Every structure is written in structure tokens, then in C-alpha cells.
Amino acid sequence: MSFLRDLRKRAAARPAHIVLSEGHDPRIVAGALAALDAGMGPITLVGPEGEITARLSDAGAQNREGLRIQDPETSDLTETYAALYSELRKHKAVSPEIAAAQARDPMIFSALMVRNGDADGTVGGAVTTSSETIRAALTMIGKAPDAALVSSFFLMILPDSHLSGRTAMVFGDCGMVVDPDQDELAAIAVQSAASCAQLLGDPPAVALLSFSTKGSARHASVTKVTGALDILRAEHPHLPVDGELQFDAAFVPEIGASKAPLSTVAGKANVFIFPDLNSGNIGYKIAQRIGGCDAIGPVLQGLNSPANDLSRGCTAADVTNMIAVTTLQAAK
């Protein structure tokens, strides 16, 4: 897809050091090598050095420039990270033995590399669960001081020459916040709008989605969406946002003009905020499996530094694309 080629080029133009916590996995190795081929890097693979070296040997990529290996069992950084872990978890009164063991966990080690400034962002989740990946990010990297919460989005890339004329969209939150209230919904919208500008390179137009458009139905779940709109208009008056909008009214210009003729967002949205995780998760998977969209995510937003989650069913190309996304996030 042309958008993905452009995404990788933009990432290569703004290099960042990305650390991959499952460096022994063949998909991770292949994705990292493709990212280096595209001009991104440097990249660090974390895990058992012998296994990683064997994977690189199989790929004919020993001593590849821009590629580094860190084995937490032997790294001279592990002792430093154990002390950092103890400091971050001192409210839990962890023992030195537990801190040392945790610092040798590749997921924790990678997050601590970012926390300590030894890398700019981290990617994991090809082997470990989303909950493990996100927990490491939350506890080791932490929420940004100015963020109301940590949320997620999917970068949805449409097939080339899509009838809509669009190339990509942001769907949030489809992977993390289960049932946001109106304040959280507004915060997710603000974060997703910033992610749109950062990754799509386009001004955001934010649609707050519902099963209702402009009062066509009345329900508490609709009121939550309109409450979020009131918050956004009061606190972010320059953000192009509207709601409540059904998806077709937000996406299709003709339907938007018919259902919400006074809206400046209807029919033009590129950021779609779902009212809860049920609708968001279902929606992105329908777009992916029936609509043919390429879904990159969940991409986390609201952290101190970038940390992102892969699907355990990911491909090497998915890894490369997530490296590109994380690189662009790190360039903020």
C-alpha cells in the first residue's frame, strides 16, 4: 500500500532507536532487518544472544550495521536496570532478588531501556500477551505528566484506490479502555487527534461515534457522547470535532450532508472515536476482515515514551510497520 511506503519513508527521515523485546522470534528479526533496509534504525534486539545470533545467521545478516543485541542475562546494563526497577516499585517493597529477576525479563528490560534513555521506544507482543506488554509499559515507562489517561488506537490503512479517496484513518479506543466516561472519551479524542497529525500528516477531523446522529435517538450512551463533545468544545475550541454521529454520517460526504448538514466534520472525518471497547474492537475487525483495511495496533498513546503492542498473529511486515509508527511517535 502506498501509504505504508510513505509511512516507512517518513520514519526513515526521522531516525530513532527502537528496542524489540522478543528478539529471538523469526518475525521480529525479519521485521527489524526490513526496517533497517528501509533506512530506519538503530534497532536493538533483546533476548538470548545465542538464539538471536542463530536467527541472524539464518537470515545471512550477522554483524548487520545498525542492529544491536542485548541479552539481559549477560548485559552490563542489567544491574543498573535492577536498581531502577527497585526505585520504580519501591512502594511495593520489592526485594533485591525480585528486582534482579525482573530486570532480566526481556519485556521489562526493554521498557527500562526506554525509561533510562538508552532507547527511544519499544515494541513487543509477538509472543507475550497484550496485558503483559501494556503492563510493562505502564509500570516501567509510565503515563505522561500531561496525559489524562493512557489509551490506544489502530491506524487503519485503506486499500489503494479506495472509493472514498482516503488512504488512512485513526480508530480509537479499540484496544484498551473498556467503558470510558465522557471525560475519558474526550481525552481519547484529543490524544487520537494528535496521533492523526503525527502519523497521517493531515489535520485531524474528529467524529464521536454513536448509533445516533444529532439527536435521532435518545439514550444514556448517546448522552455520554454529547457530553464528551461539550467538554471538547469548551476545552479545545480549535479542534475540528463533532458528534454524536453514526459511522456513515461521519465517513460518507453525501450521507453526512444529509444527516448533519451544519457539521464541518460529517463526511470528512479521519479520526473515529468509538463510545466503548465493544464497538471499537468489533468495528476495527470488520474494517480489517471485510473491508480489506490493514490495521496497525493497538498503538498506545499517553505514555512518557512510545511503547507498542503487536498481535501474536503478526507478520514480519506488521513488525516493520510498527517500528515505523513507534519511530514517528518518538520524533515528537
Cα–Cα nearest to 194, from 270, 276, 141: 270
Tell the residue number behind the cell numbers 468544545, with chain if given: 233
pLDDT number for residue 189: 98
Q: What is the pLDDT of residue 1?
A: 56
pLDDT digits (tens, 9 = 90+) for 189-204: 999 999 999 999 899 9
Q: Is residue 298 part of a domain?
A: no
Domain limits at 311?
Answer: 2-142+303-330
* Domain assignment present for 283: yes
In a domain, 197, yes or no: yes
pLDDT tens digits, 119-148: 999 999 999 988 899 999 999 999 999 999
The segments of the chain whose pLDDT lies below 70 read: 1, 332
pLDDT at 160: 85
Q: What is the pLDDT of residues 275-299, one digit of tens each?
A: 999 999 999 999 999 999 999 988 9
**CATH code at 230?**
3.40.50.10750
Give the span between the Cα atoms of 325 and 185, in whole angstroms: 23
The end-to-end CA distance of the chain, in Å, is 25
26 and 101 assigned to the same domain? yes
Residue in the structure block whose three cell numbers are 528496542: 19
Tell me the CA distances in angstroms from 208 to 4, 133, 188, 221, 241, one per residue in order. 26, 28, 10, 12, 7
Residues 163 and 107 grouped into a single domain: no
| The predicted structure's pLDDT at residue 94 | 84
Residues 117 and 164 in one domain: no
Please compute Rg for the chain using Cα positions.
21
